[in-house]
Structure 1
């Protein structure tokens, strides 16, 4: 019997708990050891806190518990320092909390990356503690947050200097594929807000680096899809994107040519079969087809194809097939071009639409 995975708490929940504890220490001189919150869905949770105070401030710390989710912020210390002000509630981002620098996100540029639901949670957590007519400043900081943020999507979203305070339910659901997919979508909004009508979708950071460093494609138009290529194509269509360039290593995009849009190898690894079928349709011998069924890398397949005279047309037509399958997935709401690369970043196959898109960005054939 599989063990049930333990849920955890979002950075928004941790910040709200620390904010309440700091406010209690500031206004009521209560140095509590735990705080109970009501989450957006009505659940009540209790989190341990550590509180310190000075002559005109109080600070509380909550260590994030992400449960059994492999979250890079698990164990991070969420600090909230409270100070009295003349009126209202002011939220500030301290060290380790990122700042939004690009339009397209839920928070405008220049503001700390504290998302709307966590802002509401923090406001609610201190509302019954702050005396009427009094004001409160809360500064959230996360030691080491800037380093942790490099392992998240924040740099791609234009969030600089640290982590985001996130969460819509207050709870981290362990191993949530849906949550990870959803976290990828804001990249599209940021790219659209930057003025791009054509976006570059790439499954991994290798493709991203090659696009930016070798081909000098616009970094703000690049969207990482991970294995969720189909999901991200549909998200582009829903948001009115005009054109998409699928860009990446052939090992992933071969699967798209076969109509596989979730490309994790554990669930979908038909690369050899797709290559073998494509070669057979172009008159390859039974020997070549068998060799392709046995290869384990695109690079090895590329050598077999080259040695048997199938030529560049093989890869170009396979790229075109990936574009056709992608356009069919979104019912023609997107125009798609595809570029397949090898590990060295060399283009091994591209279709006519990909050429048009690249030429518009100053890259000829």
Structure 2
């Protein structure tokens, strides 16, 4: 991986996610468990299709277990988890020694759990089931992929190596509980530590100003090829619009949280057909006129949903249940059970209206369309 990117003539350093850290420390531990040798660095494959090299800071071995750790390096995009230690203990155990709390099983003979400093999911609506470690699906897959890679590299059959044992991977972070207090985890119902996250494995650094300039440049390049553009918040929106709804990836730009800025730039550059597609948890904010969707500016998802449902005649008990949800995905089955699915169309209609009002497009020939969907790619509304 090229460690740097250049934006507007300035040099910015890339980093890697907590998910990449967990995969790297696990790989290092497994290599030492098999070969007995100290590992100074490992290469891992990321979902972005880029291989990255991560230094291994320390390792210890005792009997049939190895602990390794790496340090999270967010590059020039510094957040609360930057420079924290992410550990992985890999050990051979019997079935009687299996911990109660484990991640979803993806690989035969392998179980993944969490230790100190990694949160536990306590509320529904996230991509991880209640009661499981807060290790998101993509990092979980990355960990399993690296386990498979190690056995393949050594030419060892995994099940023959394990025999009647189980390979248990424990991800932990000694400072995780304290660091989690600086994140939104408790608001999401993740208790006891940080989450292991990352959809691409790589942290792309940029100041907000540089990020916006880069987005404008991308829009300008797309404009050369036509008057239609598709805006999505990020990787989830991109994959959903392409893989499920069949949009041309070449017409899509990831706008991050900058809905208002990107709409104004689309107008300035002369786009006439603007499609905005994204998870309802992001785009519901636009329906209320919130044009920067970062949670530090506004996080009124529950209030917006409750107010719309109240205007539809929703009763207090129903509204209270919605207000208690920690994510918009958790609201969806409740809304459907009460027969208020039309609220999604209302939110989409309001989003279109707000977008047009924001860029003063009512008197101009600019079409705006909004697609709302759930985390699993179910289309909720299109207006």
Shorter-normalised TM-score: what interval?
0.5 to 0.7
Between the two proteins, the alignment pairs up a number of residues equal to 240
The separation in 2 between residues aligned to 1:169 and 1:222, in whole angstroms, is 22
Hey, what does 2:133 align to over in structure 1? 112
Give the deviation of 1:68 after TM superposition: 0.8
The separation in 2 between residues aligned to 1:61 and 1:201, in whole angstroms, is 44
Residues 157 and 187 in structure 1, CA contact (< 8 A), matched pair in contact too: no
The separation in 2 between residues aligned to 1:28 and 1:11, in whole angstroms, is 26
The separation in 2 between residues aligned to 1:180 and 1:147, in whole angstroms, is 29
- Structure 2 length normalisation: TM-score? 0.51
Give the deviation of 1:85 after TM superposition: 2.4
1:200 to 1:31, Cα distance in 2 relative to 1, 3 A = farther
Give the deviation of 1:180 after TM superposition: 10
**Structure 1 residue runs without a partner (length 5+):** 192-198, 224-237, 245-255, 262-327, 334-365
The separation in 1 between residues aligned to 2:29 and 2:178, in whole angstroms, is 26
Residues 187 and 326 in structure 2, CA contact (< 8 A), matched pair in contact too: no
Give the deviation of 1:162 after TM superposition: 1.2
The answer to which structure, 1 or 2, has the higher relative contact order (CA under 8 A, 6+ apart) is: 2
Which of 313, 325, 328 matches 1:220? Answer: 325
Residues 188 and 327 in structure 2, CA contact (< 8 A), matched pair in contact too: no
Matched, 1:142 2:173: yes
The 3-state SS of whatever aligns with 2:145 is: helix
Which of 132, 139, 142 matches 2:160? Answer: 132
Give the deviation of 1:331 after TM superposition: 7.0
- Structure 1 length normalisation: TM-score? 0.53
Question: Within 5 Å, which residues of 2 pair with 1:155-234?
Answer: 155-175=186-206, 178=233, 188=281, 218-220=323-325
RMSD between aligned residues: 4.5
Residues 200 and 222 in structure 1, CA contact (< 8 A), matched pair in contact too: no
Matched, 1:11 2:18: yes
Q: Deviations over 1:55-104 (max 9, x none)?
A: 33210000011111122211010000111024711111111111112222
The 3-state SS of whatever aligns with 1:132 is: helix
Hey, what does 1:76 align to over in structure 2? 84
Residues 156 and 187 in structure 1, CA contact (< 8 A), matched pair in contact too: no
The separation in 2 between residues aligned to 1:41 and 1:331, in whole angstroms, is 27
The 3-state SS of whatever aligns with 1:13 is: helix
Give the deviation of 1:222 after TM superposition: 8.0
Residues 199 and 235 in structure 2, CA contact (< 8 A), matched pair in contact too: no
Give the deviation of 1:2 after TM superposition: 2.5
Q: Deviations over 1:90-139 (max 9, x none)?
A: 11111111111222222111111111111111112122335635121111
1:26 to 1:181, Cα distance in 2 relative to 1, 3 A = closer
The separation in 1 between residues aligned to 2:81 and 2:181, in whole angstroms, is 11
> Which stretch shifts more, 14-23 or 103-112?
103-112
1:332 to 1:161, Cα distance in 2 relative to 1, 3 A = closer
The separation in 2 between residues aligned to 1:239 and 1:7, in whole angstroms, is 43
The 3-state SS of whatever aligns with 1:156 is: helix
The separation in 1 between residues aligned to 2:28 and 2:180, in whole angstroms, is 26
1:240 to 1:65, Cα distance in 2 relative to 1, 3 A = farther
1:201 to 1:18, Cα distance in 2 relative to 1, 3 A = farther
Hey, what does 1:53 align to over in structure 2? 61
The separation in 1 between residues aligned to 2:342 and 2:192, in whole angstroms, is 28
Hey, what does 1:99 align to over in structure 2? 120
Matched, 1:20 2:20: no
1:30 to 1:131, Cα distance in 2 relative to 1, 3 A = farther
Q: Deviations over 1:272-295 (max 9, x none)?
A: xxxxxxxxxxxxxxxxxxxxxxxx
1:26 to 1:239, Cα distance in 2 relative to 1, 3 A = farther
The 3-state SS of whatever aligns with 2:20 is: helix
